[in-house]
Every structure is written in structure tokens, then in C-alpha cells.
Amino acid sequence: GENVEQHPSTLSVQEGDSAVIKCTYSDSASNYFPWYKQELGKRPQLIIDIRSNVGEKKDQRIAVTLNKTAKHFSLHITETQPEDSAVYFCAGTFQTGANNLFFGTGTRLTVIP
């Protein structure tokens, strides 16, 4: 399957600071890159996604950038708040077949009040 690497595995920031999480993928045909937020024991929630024909997308305090040439994409959270604390997963899909979602290893974000 698709190989999606995610860094860092843990990230602590002070409230109000920015957080950046980076992912790389191996399949150059991948064309859809969502980011999910998962709180303990709950389902992953889609927070933002980007498609391969777009380089950047922003939704309030959250933004995602995509570099198709380098095969990496990043999540940016600005003005972090304690409720942003969770595990964040990036994901990517194969272009062909069922477009399965393959997940990165996750980043545990802690926002310190």
C-alpha cells in the first residue's frame, strides 16, 4: 500500500503559538490528502483536505500546503488553543482502485495553557 510518513510523533506548544505537522508520501499518483483529528476513544474527524491540483488551502486557523514535486504536505495550526490537543493523522490515497486511505503514524499535539 501507500507509504505515508508523518513527523513529529509528539508536539507540545504553548497556547497561542503555531503548530506544524509534516507528512511525506511515496506514490506520485496520490491525489487526495486529508487531515484527521482524533480524540481519545473517538472516531477520526476530518478537519481539512487538499487535492493534488491545489497547492494550499486554508480554513480559519487551519491550513494545509502541498508540494507534489517533493511529495510532501503539511498541516499548520495557528493561534493554538487547549482544545486543539489531540492526535492528528495525515492520509493519502492511491489514484487507482478504490482510492483507499492510508494513514500516517499520527502526531500527538499538546497545547499547554
Residues that bind another protein (CB under 8 A): 1, 34, 41-46, 49, 89, 97-106
DSSP annotation string for 30-77: --EEEEEEE-TTS--EEEEEEETT-SEEEETTEEEEEETTTTEEEEEE
Comparing CB distances to another protein, the nearer of 26 and 81 is 26
Q: How far is the CB of 89 from another protein (least distance, A)?
A: 6
Comparing CB distances to another protein, the nearer of 8 and 16 is 8
Comparing CB distances to another protein, the nearer of 18 and 99 is 99
CA-angle at 85, arms to 70 and 3, nearest 5° = 30
Q: How far is the CB of 46 from another protein (least distance, A)?
A: 5
Comparing CB distances to another protein, the nearer of 81 and 100 is 100
Q: How far is the CB of 106 from another protein (least distance, A)?
A: 5
Q: Minimal CA–CA distance to 109: which of 48, 17, 19?
A: 19
Q: Which residues contact 51 (CB under 8 A, 6 or more apart)?
A: 31, 32, 33
Q: How far is the CB of 98 from another protein (least distance, A)?
A: 5
